[in-house]
Amino acid sequence: MELKATKLSKSYSDKKVVDKIDITVSSGQTVGLLGPNGAGKTTFFYMIAGLLSCDSGDVFINNNKITKENISTRSSKGLSYLPQEPSIFRRLSVSENIMAGLEQRENIEYSDKKNILNDLLDEFGLLKFKHTKSILLSGGERRRLEIARALACNPSFLLLDEPFAGIDPIAVSDLKETIKKL
């Protein structure tokens, strides 16, 4: 599978935030987007994910144009976006958060969803927290939960915006190892 953005541009008033950016990423590939604060990285992610329309340019998955598609349609085509801001369902347990991601996969039996849930809890070191309300997690635990929930949707492409923001250095090291395994 291939995710491609061509000549994406976005301006706010007279300020060009993203200017004709191209990127092509194959499924399984890891790519980093580097730049100082205010460089347009999050805006670029928003346009690819479908949270913000672009002024010009196009987004494709497997050469199918998805530029005008909403975030839900893009998700069903294999694109998942994890924002830099906390995105857990705070009043739900860790297990319920991951199940919310699994509910997007309609073609899977409930028993299989439970097996996937347990696999994700184990893989991300969250088994001991499975009944814990998500609001009680540390920054690193929360981020691992967010990634596990995003992966529950079985995306071909996972966009992580500032994946290490707001978490302690030890958790950053653990999370880097987790991301490498993806």
| CATH-assigned architecture of domain 78-181 | 3-Layer(aba) Sandwich (3.40)
In this prediction, residue 43 carries a pLDDT of 95
In this prediction, residue 122 carries a pLDDT of 93
pLDDT, mean of each 10-residue run, the chain (182 residues):
96 94 91 87 94 96 95 89 87 96 88 95 94 93 90 90 78 76 71
In this prediction, residue 12 carries a pLDDT of 92
For residue range 4-13, list pLDDT tens digits in order: 999 999 999 9
In this prediction, residue 164 carries a pLDDT of 78
Q: How far apart are CA 41 and CA 33, in angstroms?
A: 7
Q: Where in the chain is the domain with CATH 3.40.50.300?
A: 1-77, 78-181
User: E-strand spans in 13-165?
Assistant: 15-26, 56-61, 64-65, 79-82, 157-160
Superfamily of structural domain 1-77: P-loop containing nucleotide triphosphate hydrolases (3.40.50.300)
CA 122 to chain CA centroid, nearest Å? 20
Q: Which two tokens stand for residue 170?
A: 């030890």
